[in-house]
């Protein structure tokens, strides 16, 4: 999803960097539903996909068009496999790949629902269909809730060439599912991010302590409770404001809020501003821009 999601961009950048460390001349195609808003990464070509623009999922026309495109892509893949020819340039590019690698973080499971999960598996399964190795790269995987979801997941993950997950819960989700492949538990690839020397991004003043806080409105959608506050969002921003004031007072620290997602229907930059408005020491706060 490009720079509209800092977490997703961190995963994408670090995975490309890690692979290029061992394969310097590697070329990449990145599948995205937001091609027009993606900020290009070092010689990376983005391929527009379908079906996943969250702000359009209530549109029947969008869903119908996405279904139609899925049928066309699937038909073209079958033609390509049989004849090595196809109508779509995108299918031709995707089919030329030597491996298919995940870079989503937390969507390989039914936390966001069955259909969004199957939509994600569809693109990775193109690799299985073309008999290319499919690699699960440092993902958060699961949970698998429905009977159909479990059955599809068991088939898919057992066919993957290599699986690594970033936490023990994901490991246990796969073991309980009956995955027989070797599964490694590894750090989140975002820890591979390197420091960039850029004065515009230098929020540290003198020798003061600087604390970075990732701000995410999504936390309020999953049963967030704080004291007697009935509204989860209001409770969240009050909680974050109190935490921030405590950090400033306790450690004489400055704080930089880092909005996690900045999209049409979800703007964590606004959430950061809402928190900042409640902080007593808000002169010690900076918000990373969009």
**Residue-wise pLDDT tens digits, 60-90:** 888 888 889 999 999 999 999 899 888 889 9
pLDDT value for 116:
84
pLDDT average, residue stretch 95-122: 90
Structure tokens at 17: 């960097």
- pLDDT value for 74: 92
244 CB-contact burial (10 Å; exposed 0-12 / middle 13-18 / buried 19+)? buried
Contacts of 204 (CB under 8 A, 6+ apart): 210, 254
Q: What backbone torsions phi and psi does residue 268 show, to the nearest 5 degrees?
A: -70, -15
**Cβ atoms within 10 Å of 150's Cβ, excluding its own:** 17
Please check whether residue 145 is in contact with residue 115, taking contact to mean a CB–CB distance below 8 angstroms: no
The yes-or-no verdict on residue 50 having pLDDT over 90 is: no
Kindly report the pTM of this predicted structure: 0.83
């Amino acid at each position: 999803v490009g720079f509209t999601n800092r977490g997703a961009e961190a995963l994408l950048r670090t995975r490309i960097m890690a692979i290029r460390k061992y394969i310097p001349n590697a070329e990449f195609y990145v599948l995205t539903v937001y091609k027009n808003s993606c900020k290009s990464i070092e010689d990376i070509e983005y391929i527009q996909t379908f079906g996943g623009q969250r702000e359009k999922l209530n549109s029947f026309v969008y869903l119908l068009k996405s279904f139609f495109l899925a049928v066309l892509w699937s038909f073209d893949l079958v033609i390509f496999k049989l004849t090595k020819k196809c109508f779509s340039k995108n299918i031709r590019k995707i089919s030329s790949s030597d491996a298919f690698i995940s870079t989503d973080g937390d969507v390989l499971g039914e936390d966001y629902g069955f259909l969004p999960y199957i939509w994600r598996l569809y693109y990775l399964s193109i690799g299985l269909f073309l008999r290319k190795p499919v690699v699960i790269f440092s993902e958060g995987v699961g949970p698998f809730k429905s009977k159909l979801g479990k059955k599809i997941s068991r088939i898919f993950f057992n066919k993957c060439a290599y699986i690594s997950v970033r936490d023990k819960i994901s490991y246990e989700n796969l073991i309980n599912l009956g995955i027989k492949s070797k599964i490694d538990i590894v750090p989140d690839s975002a820890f591979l991010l390197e420091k960039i020397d850029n004065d515009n991004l230098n929020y540290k003043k003198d020798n003061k302590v600087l604390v970075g806080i990732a701000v995410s409105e999504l936390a309020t959608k999953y049963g967030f409770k704080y004291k007697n506050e009935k509204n989860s969002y209001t409770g969240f921003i009050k909680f974050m404001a109190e935490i921030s004031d405590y950090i400033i007072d306790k450690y004489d620290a400055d704080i930089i809020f880092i909005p996690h997602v900045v999209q049409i229907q979800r703007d964590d930059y606004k959430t950061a501003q809402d928190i900042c408005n409640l902080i007593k020491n808000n002169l010690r706060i900076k918000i990373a821009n969009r």
